[in-house]
Structure 1
Amino acid sequence: MPTRILPAVGDPDAVRSVTTLLSQLPDAEPVAPVVDSTQLVDTLARLAAESVDELPEVVVVHERIGPVPALELIREVALRFPAVGVILVTSDASPGLFQAAMDAGARGLAALPLSYEELANRVQAVAQWSVGVRRHLGHGGDVFTGAGGTVVTVSGAKGGVGATLAAIQLALAAQASGRSTVLVDLDLQTGDVASYLDVQFRRSVADLAAITDISPRVLADAVFRHDTGVALLLAPGEGERGEEVTDRAARQIVSALRSRYETVVIDCGAQLSGAGAAAVEMADTALLVTTPDVVAVRGAKRTVRMWDRLQIRKAEETTVVVNRHTRATEIQPSLIQRITGTPVASTAVPAHYKELQAVVDAGRVHELDQRSAVKQALWALAGELGLVRTPVAERKGGRLRGDRGAVSFRRRRDG
């Protein structure tokens, strides 16, 4: 079977030399080159929309591609199209750049000026890797093989504002609507997802930290399948092991999950770690949960400013969720929006702790009653964020048929 190779080269002279050399490789099938980063991503997205099998096995990215810098482009391709192997062509073959390219998601590096032997070896190795990934992705009914699932992070403005409950219910809503979903507890020292769902587990996210190439089989061994159908990747039972999950490990883990599940919901807790920061940076949607009180709203503002200073996330790219909302409180969502400088979700979660107390104490929050105003609000939030699949045939009067019942939602953005 020929290896399909897509060159991404902006310089006309480099285009000619790269395509000429690629055409001489055995069993190679070079396709028409793309000349900038936008065209590359658009081309891959169009092919992925048809089928993962339509994607080229190898993409060759020239160091002078633009307007997005080569390493940033490689990171985006690796995240969105995890079955595609990327080779960076560069005049700088130093160990530092090699490490940076690997961290970004490249599968190989070829030095300029290109030699036939080096390029042939790189293409062959990367093509074999790509074929192997696709073979693994082809097994199992719950495997998602699209261009990359949706990643949502849920962080707390401070401890105790309800971020974990929100993350769990968002994951349950996505799974109930037919999306393959994984819930990740990245609150590495004090994560409570396992307690909220009453599960006993042996493996955790820490077991993936030292693995540089996370295959679907390795990932499946670390994931716990809950009775609801949601896959769980839990925080380590020994909090000190959380230090093993570095920002680099978190990027690899999130990328692997994104390639396998349609929806990835990550509970990042209220304390910023390197792993949590990496997840927030990679997320399609970053939620920050707060309660409508002075201390929590100050915490939300402080978190938003810190994310911005550290170049993790801009304020306008963060969505605040108001939990325990009442009409009587002086701090309303509109005021929180002005204070934090962020968008605020139109769905506010009401203050009805009595509904929650029994299931929280029993560790059975997945059994929260369908009539619960809290559950209805959080599932409505999932609809607002586009995390639920709601075919027209399943909707009646603005209601979503889900887990043994129906919950209302305000609006839906197609994901």
Structure 2
Amino acid sequence: MTTRILPAVADADAARSVTTLLSQLPDAEPAVPVGDSTHLLDTLARLAGESLDELPEVVLVHERIGPTPALELIREVALRFPAIGVVLISSDAGPAVFSAAMDSGARGLVALPLSYEELAVRVQAAAQWSAGVRRHLGASLDVFAGPGGTVTTVTGAKGGVGTTLVAVQLALAARASGHTTVLLDMDLQAGDVASYLDVQFRRSIADLAAITDISPRVLADAVFTHESGLALLLAPGEGERGEEVTDRAARQIIGALRTRYETVVVDCGSQLTAANAAVVEMADTALLVTTPDVVSVRGAKRTVRMWDRLQIRKAEETTTVVNRHTRATEIQPPLVQKITGTRVAQAAVPAHFKELQSVVDAGRLHDLDGRSTIRQAVWALAGELGLLKAPEGRAKARASRGSGLVLRRRGG
């Protein structure tokens, strides 16, 4: 049996060493190594999109791969491509690392420095396991073939600036355009998404925090399907349970959501925690909501500087949204951009609270009139951010970045 092997190794010297040994294995077809986690996932998604038979039997993940840490990357590959045998290459082959790798979904661990004998044994075992899974599951194999959903976080410069309003309407806009969309409430101690959307549901993100393997079924049990078509993963009703959601749990939950939904919108509230900091760091787009007043803009500047100091996100990688905008105020979007150093969205949300009052009081923000200037502004923002674009465009763009790698077909 021919075994197709895809190494994911960031270091050039390590990649050459791995490739040299793999080329000596009998019946092995090693592909050109990929240098980072994004390239690996994009390549696997592209191959799965062509045919499940195109996927390699074995993926090797080096411990220093990035930007996603090796164990988190293994977990995501195992979740999205369950018939691939993943092997971790690590300088630490102790029981703690071995156990963590197995918990993440790896089928084996190879110690550094590499030896031909150990590599051959681990690759062969992973390949046999992969072949057995494919024979057993056949056409019913559950694979998410897309490149992974986009994550947009919405954070408030301070409390009361309209963070949840923007997050909810962005998610509704994405869902209305035809994207499968989930809205995650990461305001862990004071989340109001359920109140704004008239939802009573006992499950929350805290129920996923202690689960090391979030399967599609486990995720479905925690997600509420709203009458608007939005999927909702809510903040815990008891604020103290928010402490159960660690940064590691948040990364795992976001990874699971990205594999099931094309668009993930996250309401991060206005308080910085380790969990929502991890989500902002992972996001494709990070929004910072402010109102055009001195206190809020100072809060926005303070948040941007803190994100930069903590290496969460740079100012130029952040987009600020001005809510409750009027032409009469002295603080206009260009000044906000100058003060914060961020890019300010072209779509500013007008200060027309009367349009909101009835739906907010009724807890039915999804019923906001389509003629509302507030809704029109936030939906225009969704278009500006690319949340309304057809997913094929982004998929092709991301796939093209991995087009330099070719896996040889068996018998080809």
- TM-score w.r.t. the length of structure 1 is 0.81
Matched residues in 1 for 2:343 and 2:4: separation? 43
Query: Does the 8 Å CA contact 1:149/1:264 hold for their aligned counterparts?
Result: yes
Cα distance, 1:93 vs structure 2: 1.9
Matched residues in 2 for 1:16 and 1:52: separation? 27
Matched residues in 2 for 1:325 and 1:191: separation? 24
Q: CA RMSD in A?
A: 3.2
* Alignment partner, residue 348 of structure 2: 348
* Alignment partner, residue 309 of structure 1: 309
Query: Does the 8 Å CA contact 1:41/1:77 hold for their aligned counterparts?
Result: no
1:187 alignment partner, SS class: coil
Distance 1:243 1:49, change over 3 A: same
* Alignment partner, residue 214 of structure 1: 214
Matched residues in 1 for 2:199 and 2:138: separation? 30
Cα distance, 1:16 vs structure 2: 2.1
* Alignment partner, residue 359 of structure 1: 359
Amino acid at match of 2:121: E
Query: Does the 8 Å CA contact 1:72/1:104 hold for their aligned counterparts?
Result: no
Matched residues in 2 for 1:253 and 1:337: separation? 32
Matched residues in 2 for 1:292 and 1:132: separation? 56
Q: Deviations over 1:204-263 (max 9, x none)?
A: 110001100000000001000000110000011111111111110011100000000000
Cα distance, 1:148 vs structure 2: 0.5
Task: Report the number of matched residues.
Answer: 380
Amino acid at match of 2:168: I
Matched residues in 2 for 1:331 and 1:81: separation? 49
2:31 alignment partner, SS class: coil
Q: Confirm or deny that 1:83 pairs with 2:85.
A: no
Matched residues in 2 for 1:196 and 1:133: separation? 44
Query: Does the 8 Å CA contact 1:324/1:352 hold for their aligned counterparts?
Result: yes
What are the equivalent positions in structure 2 for 1:254-333 lying under 5 Å apart? 254-333=254-333
Q: Confirm or deny that 1:154 pairs with 2:158.
A: no
* Alignment partner, residue 383 of structure 2: 383
Amino acid at match of 1:335: L
Cα distance, 1:316 vs structure 2: 0.9
- Larger relative contact order, structure 1 or 2 (CA cutoff 8 Å, min sep 6): 2
- % identity of equivalent residues: 67
Q: Confirm or deny that 1:18 pairs with 2:22.
A: yes
Q: Confirm or deny that 1:113 pairs with 2:115.
A: yes
* Alignment partner, residue 174 of structure 1: 174
Cα distance, 1:202 vs structure 2: 1.4
Cα distance, 1:183 vs structure 2: 0.4
* Alignment partner, residue 410 of structure 1: none
* Alignment partner, residue 405 of structure 2: none
Cα distance, 1:87 vs structure 2: 2.5
Q: Deviations over 1:28-74 (max 9, x none)?
A: x634232644875664464355466644353213457xxx6586577
Cα distance, 1:390 vs structure 2: 5.7
Matched residues in 1 for 2:7 and 2:340: separation? 43
What are the equivalent positions in structure 2 for 1:26-105 lying under 5 Å apart? 30-34=29-33, 36-37=35-36, 40=40, 43-44=43-44, 46-47=46-47, 50=50, 54-62=54-62, 72=69, 83-84=80-81, 86-94=86-94
Using the TM superposition, name which of 1-10 and 281-290 deviates more.
1-10
2:214 alignment partner, SS class: coil
1:20 alignment partner, SS class: coil
Distance 1:218 1:4, change over 3 A: farther
* Alignment partner, residue 399 of structure 1: none
Distance 1:264 1:201, change over 3 A: same
Cα distance, 1:301 vs structure 2: 0.6
Query: Does the 8 Å CA contact 2:46/2:145 hold for their aligned counterparts?
Result: no
- What residue ranges of structure 1 are gaps of 5+ in the alignment? 139-143, 392-413
Query: Does the 8 Å CA contact 2:154/2:166 hold for their aligned counterparts?
Result: yes
Matched residues in 1 for 2:188 and 2:167: separation? 15
Query: Does the 8 Å CA contact 1:83/1:133 hold for their aligned counterparts?
Result: no
Query: Does the 8 Å CA contact 1:52/1:147 hold for their aligned counterparts?
Result: no
1:381 alignment partner, SS class: helix
Cα distance, 1:388 vs structure 2: 1.1
Matched residues in 1 for 2:104 and 2:280: separation? 16
Q: Deviations over 1:318-347 (max 9, x none)?
A: 111110001111011100011111111111
1:183 alignment partner, SS class: strand
Query: Does the 8 Å CA contact 1:257/1:264 hold for their aligned counterparts?
Result: yes
Query: Does the 8 Å CA contact 2:247/2:277 hold for their aligned counterparts?
Result: yes
Amino acid at match of 1:269: G
- TM-score w.r.t. the length of structure 2 is 0.82
Matched residues in 1 for 2:132 and 2:167: separation? 37
* Alignment partner, residue 250 of structure 1: 250
Cα distance, 1:275 vs structure 2: 1.0
Matched residues in 2 for 1:348 and 1:97: separation? 49
Query: Does the 8 Å CA contact 1:6/1:32 hold for their aligned counterparts?
Result: yes
Matched residues in 2 for 1:126 and 1:145: separation? 18
Using the TM superposition, name which of 87-96 and 254-263 deviates more.
87-96
- What residue ranges of structure 2 are gaps of 5+ in the alignment? 392-396, 399-412
Matched residues in 2 for 1:379 and 1:292: separation? 20
Matched residues in 2 for 1:35 and 1:88: separation? 15
Q: Deviations over 1:71-100 (max 9, x none)?
A: 657756866995245432233324575588
Matched residues in 1 for 2:269 and 2:70: separation? 29
Using the TM superposition, name which of 5-14 and 159-168 deviates more.
5-14
Matched residues in 1 for 2:241 and 2:133: separation? 31
Matched residues in 2 for 1:369 and 1:108: separation? 55
Amino acid at match of 1:17: L
